[in-house]
């Protein structure tokens, strides 16, 4: 039997995610996202640090109609009072995605190309469908590492550069009473 279709639990994946990855682990550090944070330059003076890491698992590499998936560990903390977050991206062409929360808690920001914004509370077990054409960014507003699963169609292109021209409308800051949204 094709070992790709054997059932496996998420617990099994967590045991050895790097060994199952089909691409090198992607590590995002503050220095790679510095201008996306309001006070990123100032925070970087204190030193660079890893914000999140991401493993891709693609059982049928580049074959049309197949699916790839990934697991992200998004670390807790703030950068100049702004909650840690993923870079955020759009898919260059058609291509929906599914996110599912596995550990921790936070907020998923979704924004259409027309500028409509949706904010979804995320925790273990939350699953969200991200339609084609919507940018997506996860923000860790909790106190532990946030881990989530993403599933997307093979062959799509990820557009990260668009964030430097047309970022999300809001920043997610840590206020005295919890989460505070600030217009960008």
Residues of the shown chain interacting with Fe ion in the complex, contacts defined by CB under 5 A: 97
4 by DSSP, 3-state: which?
A: helix
Closest chain position to Fe ion (CB): 97
User: Which one, 73 or 97, has the nearer CB to Fe ion?
Assistant: 97
Output the CA torsion 48→104→157→4 (10° steps): 120
CB 120, min distance to Fe ion, A = 14
User: Which one, 86 or 140, has the nearer CB to Fe ion?
Assistant: 86
CB 80, min distance to Fe ion, A = 26
State how far the Cα of 148 lies from the Cα of 124, in Å rounded to an integer.
Answer: 8
User: Which one, 86 or 141, has the nearer CB to Fe ion?
Assistant: 86
CB 150, min distance to Fe ion, A = 6
Asked if residues 171 and 181 have their Cβ atoms less than 8 Å apart, the reply is yes
Chain centroid to CA 26: how far?
Answer: 11
State how far the Cα of 142 lies from the Cα of 145, in Å rounded to an integer.
Answer: 8
User: Which one, 32 or 144, has the nearer CB to Fe ion?
Assistant: 32
CB 137, min distance to Fe ion, A = 10
């Amino acid at each position: 039997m094709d070992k790709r279709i054997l059932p496996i639990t998420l617990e099994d994946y967590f045991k050895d995610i790097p060994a199952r990855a089909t691409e090198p682990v992607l590590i995002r550090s503050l220095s790679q996202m510095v201008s996306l944070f309001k006070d990123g330059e100032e925070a970087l003076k204190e030193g660079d640090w890893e914000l999140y890491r991401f493993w891709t698992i693609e059982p049928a590499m580049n074959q049309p109609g197949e699916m790839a998936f990934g697991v992200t560990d998004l670390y807790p903390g703030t950068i100049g009072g702004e909650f840690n977050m993923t870079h955020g991206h759009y898919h260059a062409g058609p291509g929906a995605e599914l996110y599912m929360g596995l550990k921790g808690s936070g907020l998923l920001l979704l924004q259409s190309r027309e500028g409509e914004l949706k904010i979804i509370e995320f925790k273990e077990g939350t699953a969200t469908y991200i339609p084609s054409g919507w940018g997506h960014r996860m923000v860790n507003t909790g106190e532990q590492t946030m881990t989530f699963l993403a599933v997307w169609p093979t062959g799509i292109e990820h557009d990260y550069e668009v964030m430097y021209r047309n970022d999300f409308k809001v920043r997610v800051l840590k206020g005295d009473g919890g989460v505070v949204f600030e217009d960008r």
